Structure 1
Amino acid sequence: MDQTTLPRPSAQPALYDLLARVWPTESAVVSHCIDRNMTTVAFALADGRVALVPLADPEPPEKRIRQELDTGRSSIRPRSKALPPPTLTEPLDDGAVRLAPSNTHGFLVAGRHGQIFRLTPRGQVLRLLKGTQPVFALASDGQGRFAIAQERGIVLHDEDDLVPFQALPTHCRPDGLTFLPQSRRLAIAGEQALFLWQPGSPPESHAVQTDGPVICAPDESWIGGAARDGGLWLMQLATGRVTVIGNFRAPPRSICFNTKAGAVFAAGAFRVAGWSLSDAPFDSDATGALRSGRPGLVLTECVAAHPSRDLVAAGMANGAVIVAQAGLPDEMMLRHATGAAVTTLGWSACGTHLAIGTADGEIALATFPPHLFK
C-alpha cells in the first residue's frame, strides 16, 4: 500500500493560521454539509441558523507559496485580503436543523418540527413542506429523492414535485438514515433494529441496536455506527455479518471509512481508534487494530477520512485538530487546543478542503496545497 508522508513542523506560523479561513458565528456548530456541486459548505448552528461559506479559497495556499533561492526552502505567506463574512440565515427552527445536499441546487433543510426547506448557496430559503410531525433524520440520494424519518416511519419524496411516493412504517423511532451510494438502498437505524430497504421491496431487518447516524463505506462494502451499549457496530454488507467493538472511553458518535487504507476509524478514545477491514475484528477487538497518531489525555470527538489518501483527520475535545496516517504514529497538528470541542469535521470530495466546526461557534475551511502530503 502506497503511504503518505506527513509534513514536518517548521518555524512558520501555525498551519491553521496559514491554511484555514475562519469565521466566528456566536453559536455552537452542530453539523455541516457540502453541496453536490462542490461550491458551498453549510454549517448548522445550535440556534437554528445556517451559515454558508464558499468552498473555493480566493487566496489558495499554492498561490502563496514562495521558494527561497539560496536554500530552496518553501514557505507560505499569510493572506493579504480580509475574508468576506459568511451568509447567515434567520433561525429556521428553535434548535439546530438537519442538512442534506439537494439533488438539484443547494441544500435540503429539516426543522425539528417537520418543516422542509430548500436553501440556496446564496442563502435564499424556500419552504417545500409544511411541518406535521417532528423529523428525526433526513437523507437525499443524488437522483431526485429524499427521505425523512418521523415517528410513524420513513417517507420518500420526489424533490421536484414533492409528492410522497413511498412509505415504510416502523415500530420504533428511526434516528439515522443514509442512502447507500451504489444500490440506492436506504439504511435505517432504529432503537432495536437496522433496516435495509430497497423501495418497492420489503425491508431487510438486522438485529443491531443502533444509536444515531449510519455511515456507509464509499464502495458500499461496510456500514457502521454507534451501538446503543456505547460501542461501535460494523456490518459487512456482502455477508450480513455484524460485529460490535466495545471498550471506548465515550460513545463513538463519529466514524468514517477510509478506502485507501481499507480501514474504519472512530472517535471516543484517547487516540484515533481504527481497524483494518481486510482483517476485520469479528472475533476480537484487537484483530486488525490500527494505532494511528499519538495517544494523549484528550478524547477524540470527530474523525474524517481523506477521500483518496490513507489519512484521517481527528477533532479533539479540547479543540485541537490533527491529521494522522493510518496505522502509523506520525501526525500533523493542524489546529492547536482552544478549550472548545470540535463538533463537526469533514473533507471535501476532492480532498483539498477540511471543514471544521466547534462548540464555541467557530467555522473554518482549511485548504491544503496539492503537494503538502507526499
Structure 2
Amino acid sequence: MSADVSNPIQDLLQRRLMLVSTISALTAKTHRLIQEHSGAEMEILRLELALGRSPAEGELLHALAKAEADAEAIRSRQEDCAAEIEVAEAAVSEVDRLIAASKEKTVMNQQSVPDLTLFDLLARNWQRPAAIRQICFNDDDTLLAVICADGSLAFARMADNEPPEARITVDRGQATISPRQGKAAPLIITRVKGARSVSLHRDGGFLSAGANGGLLRLSRAGEIAETLFSIDQPVQAFDYCAATHATAIVVGDRLHFHTGKDPSSAKANLPGMASEHVAFATDGTRIAVATEERLIVFRGGSELEPLVGIYLPAPPLSLKWSDDGNWLAVGLDGAGLCLLDANAGRNVVLGDFPAPVRSVTWSAQEKVLIAAGAYRIAGWSMKTPPFDDNATGALATGRVGLVLVDAVAAQPEGRLVAAGRSNGQVVVAPIGSGEELVVRPAGGPVTALQWTRDGRHLAMGDALGNVAIATFPAQLFK
C-alpha cells in the first residue's frame, strides 16, 4: 500500500480509537452517575419520611431542598453525558464511512485479486436465508444443527471429502496447503418450522422446540422421530443433560423436569416473567434458570427443590455452568455479567462492559470464565475469583480491537478460545496470551461459535446468514 493512501487510513483508525475510548469513559461515567442518582433519591425518600413525622422541622426542610437540588444536578450531568455519547457515536459513524471510502479507493488503485485467507483454505461455508440464531453439534460431532432467525432448521455434515490434511504438501521442509477443488456437501434441510432452539440428544440426534409447542426429537437424517414432550404452549427454553438423559423445559412460568421414561414430568413455579435461559450442570444434579429478575438453582429430580436464588440487576442474555459445576455465569443486558458460586451462594456483578454480554464460556482446562461484550476477550481465573475486586484474577487475552467481541467459545479440552467480533472477524487465542490467529478476517457480525469436543473444528454463524466450519490441521497449533 502506498504511503499517500496508508497514512490517511492510519490517521482515521487512530481517530476512531480515541473516539471509542471517549465513549467507553463516558459510559463508565454514566453508570457512576446512575449510582449517585439512586443514592440521592434514597436520601430524598429518607428526608420525606422524616418530615412526615416532624413537618415543621426547619433543618429537615433545608436538607430536603438541598437533596432535591443535588438530584437535579446529577440528572443534568446524566443528560450532558448522553449528549456527549451521541456526538461521539455520530463521529465514529462518520470515521467508519471515511475508512470504508479510503479502503475502497485503495482496492481500486491496487487493481489486484486478494490472496486467499486462512478461512478460504480451512473452512467450508453455507448460506442460509436469515441470520444464524444458534448452532449445535450432535453427541458424536458428526452433524452441526443450524437454526436461523426465520425458524428454519438445517444440518451440516461434518464428513469432509477434502480435509486440510489431504491438501497439505511439503517441499524442502516448507508446508503449503492448496485450495479446495469442490463444493461442500449440501445441507440437510428439515421440515421443522418456527424452531426457537436446538440441543444435542442421544444416538446422534437433536431436540428442537418449534412454534407449535412441545419438544421434537429429530433423527440424524433430519426427520421428526417423535414428540418427546407434548404441550399446546410454546417452549421458551430447554436443556438436555447427556449424563442423565433428562430434559429441563420452561413453558410459561413453569419449569418441567422430564426423564423420557415417564410421560409425566415434575414441575416447579418460576417467579416473575418467563425465562428463555435454562441449563443443567454437567452431572445433571442441578438446574439453573435465569428469569427477567432472578437466577434460581434447583436440585434436579422429581422434587425440583430450589437451592439458591438471587436477584439479577438486568435481564439475562446468556447462562453457562462451569464444567465442574461450581460456578454459574449470567451475561446481562447492559450491566456486565453475574458470577455465582453455586455451592456457597456468593455472587458478584462484574460491570464496566461497554456492551451487553451476549455470550459467556468456560475453559475447563484453565478454570477460566470468558465473556464477550468488550473490545477484547475478557476473562477471569477461578483460582482467584473476583469477589472482592473485579480486577482479581482478570486475564487479558488476545488483542484490543476497534470493534466489540460479540461471541466467545472455549475449547472443551484445550487452552484456546475463539472470539467473533461485530465486524465478522473470528480469531483464536491462547487464554491469558496477547497472541491471536485470525481465522476469518471479515463478514457479518458473529452470532454463534462452537467447538467440537476434540477442539479440531470450529463452527461459526453470522447475522448475514453465513454458517461455516473451520477444520484446523493438527500441526497448526504445535
Matched, 1:317 2:422: yes
Matched, 1:62 2:161: no
TM-score, scaled to structure 2: 0.71
Aligned residue type for 1:164: S
Matched, 1:99 2:198: yes
Quote the Cα distance in structure 2 between the aligned partners of 1:373 and 1:256: 21
Q: Which residue of 2 aligns with 1:221?
A: 326
Quote the Cα distance in structure 2 between the aligned partners of 1:105 and 1:275: 34
Quote the Cα distance in structure 2 between the aligned partners of 1:330 and 1:214: 28
Q: Which residue of 2 aligns with 1:84?
A: 185
Quote the Cα distance in structure 2 between the aligned partners of 1:306 and 1:130: 35
Q: Which residue of 2 aligns with 1:3?
A: none
The answer to whether the 8 Å contact 1:300/1:314 transfers is: yes
More helix by share: 2
Give the 3 Å change call, closer, same or farther, for CA 92–130 of structure 1 in structure 2.
farther
Quote the Cα distance in structure 1 between the aligned partners of 2:452 and 2:135: 11
Q: Which residue of 2 aligns with 1:138?
A: 238
The answer to whether the 8 Å contact 2:129/2:148 transfers is: no
Q: Which digits, 9 at most, give the CA deviation of each residue in 1:90-145, with x for residues without a partner? A: 3512xx42101113441110024423212222111245044422211111112332
Quote the Cα distance in structure 2 between the aligned partners of 1:276 and 1:326: 10
The answer to whether the 8 Å contact 2:332/2:358 transfers is: no
Aligned match of 1:74 in 151, 175, 198?
A: 175
Q: CA deviation at 1:192?
A: 2.6
Q: CA deviation at 1:182?
A: 2.0
Q: Which residue of 1 aligns with 2:136?
A: 33
| Number of residue pairs the alignment of both structures matches | 358
TM-score, scaled to structure 1: 0.90
Q: Which residue of 1 aligns with 2:267?
A: 167
Q: Which digits, 9 at most, give the CA deviation of each residue in 1:289-329, with x for residues without a partner? A: 11111111111110000122221100110111011121221
Q: Which residue of 2 aligns with 1:300?
A: 405
Quote the Cα distance in structure 2 between the aligned partners of 1:371 and 1:67: 12
Q: CA RMSD in A?
A: 1.9
Aligned residue type for 2:116: P
Quote the Cα distance in structure 1 between the aligned partners of 2:126 and 2:412: 25
Q: Which residue of 1 aligns with 2:350?
A: 245
Higher relative contact order (CA 8 A, sep 6+): 1
Quote the Cα distance in structure 2 between the aligned partners of 1:212 and 1:28: 17
The secondary structure found in structure 2 opposite 1:371 is helix
In the alignment, structure 2 segments of 5+ residues that lack a partner are 1-113
The answer to whether the 8 Å contact 1:141/1:184 transfers is: no
Q: Which residue of 1 aligns with 2:476?
A: 372
Quote the Cα distance in structure 2 between the aligned partners of 1:26 and 1:302: 21
**Between Structure 1 and Structure 2, whose CA radius of gyration is higher?**
2
Aligned residue type for 2:164: P
The secondary structure found in structure 2 opposite 1:322 is strand
Quote the Cα distance in structure 2 between the aligned partners of 1:33 and 1:237: 26
Identity level (%): 36
Aligned residue type for 1:116: L
Give the 3 Å change call, closer, same or farther, for CA 117–201 of structure 1 in structure 2.
closer
Aligned residue type for 2:123: A
The secondary structure found in structure 1 opposite 2:474 is coil
The secondary structure found in structure 2 opposite 1:17 is helix
Q: Which digits, 9 at most, give the CA deviation of each residue in 1:161-199, with x for residues without a partner? A: 6x1221111222122111101253111112232222122
Q: Which residue of 1 aligns with 2:120?
A: 17
The secondary structure found in structure 1 opposite 2:202 is coil
Q: Which residue of 1 aligns with 2:108?
A: none
More strand by share: 1
Quote the Cα distance in structure 2 between the aligned partners of 1:291 and 1:105: 37
Aligned residue type for 2:189: L
Quote the Cα distance in structure 2 between the aligned partners of 1:12 and 1:65: 18
Give the 3 Å change call, closer, same or farther, for CA 159–256 of structure 1 in structure 2.
same
